[in-house]
Amino acid sequence: MLLALLASVVFLGPRLVDGLQAGGGSLLGLAECTVDTSEGEVGLNRDEAQLATTAMALLARGMDAPDTSTIDEAVLQRLAEGPPEDAGPSLSCRGSAASDLPEQQLTVTGLTPRAEQLRVAMLEVFGDQSLGGFAPGGVGQGHGADSTHYDGRAIDVFFRPVTEENRREGWILAHWLVAHAEKFDIQYVIFDDRFWSAHLARGGWHDYDAPDPSNEILRHLDHVHVDVLGGGTG
pLDDT in tens, 186-230: 999 999 999 999 999 999 999 999 999 999 999 999 999 999 999
Structural domain boundaries enclosing 133: 101-228
Of 145 and 218, the structure prediction assigns the larger pLDDT to 218
Averaged pLDDT, 42-49: 98
Burial status of residue 1 (CB atoms within 10 A of its CB: 0-12, 13-18, 19 or more): exposed
Q: Which of 44, 59, 92 is the last residue of a domain?
A: 92
Q: Do 117 and 36 fall within a single domain? A: no
Residue 226 CA to residue 174 CA, distance in Å, equals 9
β-pair type (206-207, 131-132): unpaired
Candidates 92, 4, 87, 84; CA nearest to 42 is 92
Distance between the two ends of the chain, CA-based, in angstroms?
A: 51
- Are residues 29 and 48 both part of a single domain? yes
| 217/105 same-domain check | yes
For residues 5 and 116, the model is more confident at 116
Same domain, 113 and 63: no
Which of 92, 126, 157 is the endpoint of a domain? 92
Please report whether residue 9 resides in a domain.
Answer: no
Asked if 79 and 110 sit in the same domain, the reply is no
119 and 44: one domain? Answer: no
Choosing from 37, 65, 92, the residue where a domain stops is: 92
Is the same domain home to 108 and 209?
yes
Asked if residue 68 and residue 43 are part of one domain, the reply reads: yes
| Residue among 74, 14, 68, 9 nearest 41 (CA) | 74
| Residue 234 maps to a domain | no
Query: Are 79 and 109 contained in the same domain?
Result: no
Cβ pair 98, 229 in contact under 8 A: yes
Q: What is the pLDDT of residue 233?
A: 60
> Is 155 in the same domain as 213?
yes
Domain membership of residue 157 (yes or no) is: yes
Q: Residue 83: which residues within 8 A CB-CB, separation 6 or more?
A: 36, 90
How far apart are the C-alpha atoms of 213 and 233, rounded to whole Å?
Answer: 32
Per residue in 53-62, pLDDT (tens digit) is: 999 999 999 9
* Residue 233 located in a structural domain: no
pLDDT recorded at residue 144: 86
Q: Are residues 111 and 87 in the same domain?
A: no
Q: Specify if 8 maps to a domain.
A: no
Question: Are 123 and 179 within one domain?
Answer: yes
Q: Would you say residue 209 lies in a domain?
A: yes
Give the whole-number percent of the chain exceeding pLDDT 90.
Answer: 83
Let me know how long the chain is: 234
Q: Predicted confidence band at 28 (pLDDT cuts at 50, 70, 90)?
A: low
- How high is the pLDDT of residue 48? 99
4 inside domain: no
The number of distinct structural domains making up the chain is 2
What value does the mean pLDDT of the chain take? 89
